[in-house]
């Protein structure tokens, strides 16, 4: 509750990603006959958002459009309200700021069912994220190259040891893999940061070990042009 008519901004969370949501409310005194609430960003008071119920629900992308910024971004949000007194609309004092941090997509996370496999074994690759965001596609790359990448809508990939050898092209004893995922934003696909590399070792039947370090590399070739 506010003291002496001063409102304050309440956030449901202080940190969000582009595709997660936050509720922004302007808390007003219980005895004030509030007509409308107004939200604005520090240094951008002309960009006012009006809300009769005194609450906004925005995604991180909505907040970035409001500010005109890019992630990561720290946003200071203020509010005030209006009320009618003797037939005249009057404005309250302005609130202190509440700070909201908008982050980019969380880094992809690559896991494997086994780090050492025999020639006849199969390894399961899985690409996910830490925020349980809905992923449209996942890309598994090798040697830091976007060409000949493997794409999966389920974000799972099953490979035999021989398929890993074929995929690597037997170019090196060290083949490194990372993964990245995309999230749909309107008609666009936004790529995540690449995962950390995962190493898979293929052990031959004669006992010779060829280390296949698989880098699955994110290529955000179009990201720069989209922004």
Place 212 in a pLDDT band, splitting at 50, 70 and 90. Answer: very low
What contacts 109, CB < 8 A, 6 or more positions away?
Answer: 127, 128, 129, 130, 195, 196
- Mean pLDDT of the residues in the chain: 82
Residue 136: CB atoms within 10 Å: 14
Q: Both tokens of residue 60?
A: 């991180």
Q: What is the pLDDT of residue 18?
A: 86
Cα 141 from Cα 221, distance rounded (Å): 14
**What tens digit of pLDDT does each residue of 61-107 get?**
899 999 998 899 999 999 999 988 888 889 999 999 999 999 999 99
Please give the CATH architecture assigned to the domain spanning 8-103: Sandwich (2.60)
pLDDT tens for 129-172 read: 988 788 999 999 886 666 778 999 999 999 988 888 888 776 55
- Assign domain 109-226 to its CATH superfamily: Immunoglobulins (2.60.40.10)
Q: Which pLDDT band holds residue 177 (cuts at 50, 70, 90)?
A: confident
State yes or no: pLDDT of 220 exceeds 60: no
CA 150 – CA 139 distance, rounded (Å):
6
Contact 175, 214 (CB under 8 A): yes
Whether 8-103 and 109-226 share one fold: the answer is: yes
- The pTM assigned to this predicted structure is 0.68
List the chain domain ranges. Answer: 8-103, 109-226
């Amino acid at each position: 509750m506010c003291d002496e008519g001063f409102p304050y901004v309440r956030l449901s969370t202080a940190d969000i990603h582009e595709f997660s949501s936050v509720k922004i409310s302007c808390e007003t005194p219980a005895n004030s006959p509030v007509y409308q609430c107004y939200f604005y960003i520090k240094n951008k008071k002309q960009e006012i958002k009006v809300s009769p119920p005194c609450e906004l629900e925005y995604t991180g992308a909505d907040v970035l459009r409001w500010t005109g910024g890019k992630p990561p971004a720290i946003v200071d949000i203020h509010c005030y309200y209006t009320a009618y007194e003797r037939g005249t609309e009057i404005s309250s004092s302005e609130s202190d700021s509440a700070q909201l941090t908008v982050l980019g997509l969380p880094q992809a996370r690559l896991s494997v069912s086994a780090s050492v496999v025999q020639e006849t074994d199969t390894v399961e690759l899985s690409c996910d994220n830490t925020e349980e965001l809905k992923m449209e596609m996942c890309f598994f790359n090798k040697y830091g190259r976007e060409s000949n990448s493997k794409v999966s809508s389920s974000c799972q990939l099953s490979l035999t040891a021989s398929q890993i050898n074929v995929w690597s092209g037997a170019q090196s004893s060290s083949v490194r893999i990372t993964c990245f995922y995309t999230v749909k934003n309107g008609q666009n696909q936004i790529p995540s940061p690449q995962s950390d590399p995962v190493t898979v070792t293929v052990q031959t039947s004669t006992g010779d070990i060829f280390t296949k370090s698989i880098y699955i590399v994110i290529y955000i070739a179009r990201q720069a042009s989209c922004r």
